[in-house]
Chains A and B, each alone.
Chain A
Amino acid sequence: MRISLRGLTKRFGAALAVDGLSLDVRPGELVSLVGGSGCGKTTTLRMIAGFERPDAGQILFDDRVVNGVPPRRRNVGIVFQSYALFPTMTVADNIAFGLRVAHWPEPKLRARVAEMVALTHLGGLEGRYANQLSGGQQQRVALARALARRPEVLLLDEPLSALDAKIRLRLRGELRRIQQDLGITAVYVTHDQEEALSIADRIAVMRAGRIEQIGGPEEIYARPQTEFVADFVGISNLLACRVVSAANGVVDWEGERLRVPLAPGADGAVIVSIRPEKLSVGTDAAADRNRLQGVLEVVTFLGPFVRLEVTVHGRPFWVDVPTERATALERRKPLTLAFVPADCVVLPEGAPAVP
């Protein structure tokens, strides 16, 4: 089923939680809403589920406007951040709840519960209560319960945020597999951009109740369109520059001339974004590189690579280099950073990013 949001707006008192948001989620697609705390992700999700009524705009399931449809008639599965498992019921009864409410005949109901238990690898835990389960198991019960009624839409609100990093990795793969196997349309809220990049077909980066940019993971990562997106998704070195020559693609940063891919006619102030892994250390001879002289301050070991903090003109730069290349580096020593112009992304100067 396709979900279309058209100019959705929601106010709480004077506060604008969602501000004219439009979004299309294609059938079978998983779209992730990411953004900082309070940017309206949960509110958007709750409007799709029917828990909040939009003040303006429309919600369509396929071509049907569902604004006035109460939550229990929307046939939307939802996984809550707190899981909201019924503590008075066993795992099996939790999963069967929606089926009982819909008066499924007992044999059919039991078969469906068994199917969900198998799908979410909960075998043997059917008789347990929520407080006898690990966090990861609770999360899977919540998913099984949401999917039992064969909803056409699955909504997930930070479903993994309460779990350890390791389990989070495993479960997000599992979530993705189940979503793709069932071909269910899904909206996945998270504030973890890395999670969004890894799980979603498309990512909608939200800010202050609006979608700042939407696109596939590679697109969002490699071609952010605003300073906020560049800063929020992954790590970027953002340089506030001034255009010197649009024709030659030259900008000025702190007195340094840098060559970057400028649009014809660019003028005034721009932001140049460069990812840490696109910066290299050393003095190889290639002539087309930009070069900056800096001082190495901190080296952080991150497994396959190390992250360097290099100060250039008083401003810290993040630089990722393979671990084996970092052994020769010494703290407090000057070094040269180099990068290819084509690896830079030039962004219009925008409002400063909200934390």
Chain B
Amino acid sequence: MAPPPWCYCTNVTSSTRTAGGVLVLLVTFVLWPVLKVLWLSVAGAAGLTLANYEAFFSSSRLARILVNSLAVATVSTALTVLIALVLAYAVTRTTIPGKRFVSLMALLPLISPPFLVSLAFILLFGRNGLVTHGLGLDWSIYGFTGIVVAQIFTFLPPAYILLANVLGNMDAALEEAAENLGAGPLTTLRRVTLSLARPGLASAALIVFILCMTDFGNPILIGGRYNVPATEIYSQVIGMNDFASASTMSVILIVPCLLAYVLNTYWVGSRSYVTVTAGARAAVRPTPPALRWPLTVVAAGFALFTAVIYALIPLGSLVRLWGSDWSLSLKHYTFASTAEGPWPIWNSVKLAVLAGLIGTVLALLTAYVIERKRPPGARVLESLGLLPAALPGTVIGVGYILAFNVPPLLLTGTVWILVTSVVFWKFPVAVLAAINALKQIDPAVEEAAVSLGAGSVRTFVRVVLPLLTGTAFSIFVYFFINGMVTVSAVIFLIFPGFNLGSVAILNQVENGYPGVACALGTLILVIVIGAVLLLRALVGGDRVAILKV
């Protein structure tokens, strides 16, 4: 549909200027760092060279790291999607008891640092673990198993949300029609329900695959000697200051992620079935006991285990010495093992608030420009804004160092490099949420305002923005949470005197103070949950949603 004429005649300058500004920001903070990484991987003393790549593929150690991560990501993805499917099916298409609890537990990882699960598993199955040590086992979870198990619990939410949406929106009459035509429960499940969920399953798998490939926190905590590219990039930069190798590895890591991203966006995206039609029923009939009880046991078992995992973090922070002295104490909260004390947490809050404010404004503005102003090249803006969804945090970290440690934009050593990295790395989800919210608003509302003589800025501020407050708060919460919990990009960008809570947790585990790590983790959880609840209380609960990945 052609934009109405007033787009052109009255607001040419202001809307092009806004679009131009957004473009400059995205090029600077998304494209430029990636290009820097790409450039460094092929730059030689005498022009372009593929020497770095030759070195990579001729080193059996490095090649194995790549294979490692592919193996881990494949197994983790398969298991995560399978569990998400069972839980989503149980919650949306059956009448098991305790659905709300199951749903809540499946979504809990959304608001926690991504590697708290690893920490909990170390408390259970590590060398001094409750189970391993308690039973005197000569086995610990470090390595492949640990990464896979931790990733399942960490990356369940996006898969669960996606599949619950697909299955929950399915017309109940479809299953009834199959049954009416003589199909048994298994045939119905296979030929109707799962068949419909296939695009959703593919999408969930691709999204989770990217998350597992790029995961940094879990492998570094619980991977042991099982290296993956994300952790290898980290040790090359921090340990050896070898940016060329790190860049090469980054580019190699980007390839499968970008592939998965493109597949998901352009191939799977065009295949989803819209099944809700007029007269469709969502109500589910009572599930037969033969299915109801096994599903209840599985779903409730999963939910309870998740609850235990998250309970272990505060518990671990209160136990004097995990594995040997089980008496309770508050000594970990004195942070005596660290010179910084609890300050990294407050730095995290500062980062989270700044990222929340700046990210929300930028995301809304970008979405408005893309969705409503539709300047020439809107597709470019959109692609740039969504590109980070395919980028590993480690690559963002390396790219930001390379791009912003030299003038004219000397940001290293300031809080702004952390803020921009969080904002632009987490941009895609926020922009998509804002675009979707804008799509719900009838453009006629804006046209009415303009026809009554309001200018472009006034229309946005007075008419559009009030309709977007719920979305704005949700986006703020999303950036805030990520500012509090993210680790993989920011670990490259912190500077002396400005550590972050999430990174401090890693430091404490590495230094052998799991109790202090648990104390930090508990504080982060409390702050995040507290902030979400506070905001919900202030602006009305249902208006603040937790955005999905």
State the A residues within 8 Å of B (CB): 49, 51-52, 70-73, 76-78, 80-84, 86-88, 97-98, 101-102, 131, 145-146, 149, 158, 161-162
Contact = CB atoms under 8 A, between A and B. Distances in A.
A88 B273 contact: yes
A279 B171 CA distance: 48
Contacts of A87: 196, 273-275
12 contacts: A52-B285, A71-B180, A78-B176, A81-B279, A86-B192, A87-B196, A87-B273, A88-B192, A97-B178, A101-B184, A145-B177, A145-B181
A158 B281 CA distance: 14
Interface string B135-156: 0000000000000000000000
Contact of B198 (A49, A78, A80, A88): A88
B181 A80 contact: no
Given A87-B196, A101-B187, A82 B182 contact: no
B339 interface: no
Contacts of A49: 176, 180
Contacts of B285: 51-52
Contacts of A80: 173, 176-177, 279
Interface in B151-209: 171, 173-174, 176-184, 187, 191-192, 195-196, 198
B277 interface: yes
A72 B174 contact: no
B308 interface: no
Contacts of A78: 176-177, 180
A102 B182 contact: yes
Given A51-B285, A82-B173, A84-B177, A72 B279 contact: no
A162 B180 contact: no
A51 B325 CA distance: 59
A97 B179 CA distance: 11
A72 B184 contact: yes
B181, B183, B273: residue with the most chain A Cβ atoms closer than 10 Å:
B181
Contact of A101 (B171, B182, B195, B279): B182
Interface of B: 171, 173-174, 176-184, 187, 191-192, 195-196, 198, 273-275, 277-281, 285
A158 B277 CA distance: 14
A101 B177 contact: no
A101 B196 contact: no
Given A87-B196, A87-B273, A72 B180 contact: yes
A40 to B, nearest CB: 15
Contacts of B278: 81-82, 161-162
Contact of A82 (B187, B191, B277): B277
Contacts of A131: 273-274
Contacts, number: 86
B179 A72 contact: yes
B181 A98 contact: yes
Given A82-B277, A145-B177, 10 more contacts: A72-B184, A76-B180, A80-B173, A80-B177, A82-B279, A87-B273, A88-B196, A101-B178, A158-B279, A161-B278
Contacts of A86: 174, 177-178, 191-192, 195-196
A76 B174 CA distance: 16
A152 to B, nearest CB: 13
A90 B273 CA distance: 13
A274 to B, nearest CB: 36
- Which 9 A-B pairs rank lowest in CB-CB distance, beginning with the nearest? A98-B181, A81-B279, A84-B173, A84-B177, A87-B273, A82-B279, A80-B173, A82-B280, A88-B195
A87 B279 CA distance: 16
A88 B285 CA distance: 23
B182 A98 contact: yes
B177 A72 contact: no
A101 B181 contact: yes
Contacts of A146: 180-181
B291 to A, nearest CB: 14
A59 to B, nearest CB: 15
Contacts of A84: 171, 173-174, 176-177
Nearest to A145: B181
A196 B79 CA distance: 53
Contacts of A82: 171, 173, 277-281
Contact of B279 (A71, A98, A102, A162): A162
Contacts of B173: 80-82, 84
Contacts of A158: 279
B274 A97 contact: no
A84 B176 CA distance: 9
A337 to B, nearest CB: 41
Nearest to B174: A84
A73 B179 CA distance: 9
A49 B181 CA distance: 11
A80 B275 CA distance: 14
A98 B178 CA distance: 8
A101 to B, nearest CB: 5
A51, A72, A78: residue with the most chain B Cβ atoms closer than 10 Å:
A72
Contact of B176 (A71, A97, A145, A162): A71
B176 A51 contact: yes
A131 B276 CA distance: 12
A222 B181 CA distance: 40
Contacts of B176: 49, 51, 71, 78, 80, 84
Contacts of B275: 87
Contacts of A72: 179-184
B277 A83 contact: yes
B191 to A, nearest CB: 8
B171, B180, B280, B281: residue with the most chain A Cβ atoms closer than 10 Å:
B180
Contacts of A145: 177, 181
A84 B187 CA distance: 16
Contacts of B281: 82
A73 B196 CA distance: 25
Contacts of B187: 101
Contacts of B198: 88
A90 to B, nearest CB: 13
Nearest to A74: B180
A71 B182 CA distance: 8
B254 to A, nearest CB: 34
A192 B171 CA distance: 24
A131 B192 CA distance: 16
A260 B17 CA distance: 81
Contact of B277 (A70, A98, A162): A162
B213 to A, nearest CB: 30
B171, B179, B182, B192: residue with the most chain A Cβ atoms closer than 10 Å:
B182
Nearest to A42: B281
Contacts of A97: 178, 181, 183, 191
B171, B177, B285: residue with the most chain A Cβ atoms closer than 10 Å:
B177
A78 B281 CA distance: 15
